[in-house]
Amino acid sequence: MKFKRTTALILSLIMLTALCACTKVEPSTADVMHPVWQHAANPVIFKPSMPLADMQQDGKAIIYELTPDFEEFRIAVSEIFKCDIDAMKKTQNGSSVVYKNDRCSLSYDEETGFWSYDRADRTTNKTQIGDELALIIAKDFAEAMGLCPDGWSGETVETVNGDRGLLFKTVTLYPTINGGTIVRGDYYLSISVNADGEIVQLTNNTAKLMGCSEVSIVAGDKVGDMMAKNGCGAGLELYKDDPYAENSQSLAYGYYADGQYLLPIYIITTTDSSGTREVLVDAQAF
């Protein structure tokens, strides 16, 4: 009888150990699930009377985890750029995989699912392209290829010059999720357009999302307290030096991408004569 009891105890311990090994343990929200960002150099002053948009009403939010999908990458580069990665030279350094041929190079990050395209031939017939035309071309391309299925909530245009003048204009779009929720941080789509209006580079820092945990968030009217306690992060500078802009300030609910997770935040957008800029505030209750 004693032997049977001992055997049963051992079996119970083995089963318990196996169960613990198979259980997915979520990261501690106190340790790793709050945003770590570049703090805003000139934080805005929070006005409790500012209009609230897209607010969470139930005090809960889902944290999303980026989920790599290699097959989705393979199909995308095949359909968009006519690249057969099986026929390209492959090299790997850690989680980064690079594919090359005479026409272009591709990179894929196995940890995040982020990927990029870089065309080898940079020659152009024209020498200039305006910001507005580059923006139109990039937006049309993103829509046609289904790269921002939920649309986007911000865009920037950067001019990249070389020794002989313009190389290309880089248009960065910031996709939304869940039908319009804003995302900031390391979650964007950059499309580089040369003077001939051709796509020469693309960086797709988006990926499939999987809900991994539910957290409590503070109400929008507590954002001032959160800023005083934890500071705030730098968001986008959407427009600069607009002397005719009317002063305004608004607050929206969104997410901040840290390269692995999408974490709930509040986004304060301020517009005045110096332009339109954002600051980001952690929405989670500590």
Report the C-alpha dihedral over residues 109, 113, 117, 118, rounded to 10 degrees.
-30
**Residue 226: both structure tokens together:** 């959160």
Distances (CA, A) of 267 to 156, 180, 193, 279: 17, 14, 30, 6
pLDDT over 50 at 16, yes or no: no
Given a cut of 70, whether residue 95 has pLDDT beyond it is yes
Give the per-residue pLDDT at 50.
Answer: 53
The whole-number average pLDDT for the span 218-228 is 79
Q: Which tens digit of pLDDT belongs to each residue from 47-64?
A: 555 555 445 555 888 999
For residues 176 and 142, the answer to whether their CB atoms sit within 8 Å is: no
**What pLDDT sits at residue 44?**
57
Find how far residue 159's CA is from the centre of its chain.
22
According to the model, what pLDDT value does residue 40 have? 61
- Mean predicted confidence (pLDDT) in 233-251: 73
Report helix, strand or coil for 142.
helix
Q: What residue has token string 């307290």? A: 225
Q: Is the pTM of this model over 0.85?
A: no
Report the pLDDT value the prediction gives residue 74, as an integer from 0 to 100.
97
Q: What pLDDT, on the 0 to 100 scale, is given for residue 239?
A: 65
Q: What is the pLDDT of residue 180?
A: 84
In this model, does residue 193 exceed pLDDT 90? yes
Show Cβ contacts of residue 253 under 8 Å, excluding neighbours closer than 6 positions.
Answer: 53, 54, 55, 56, 181, 182, 220, 264, 265, 266, 267, 283
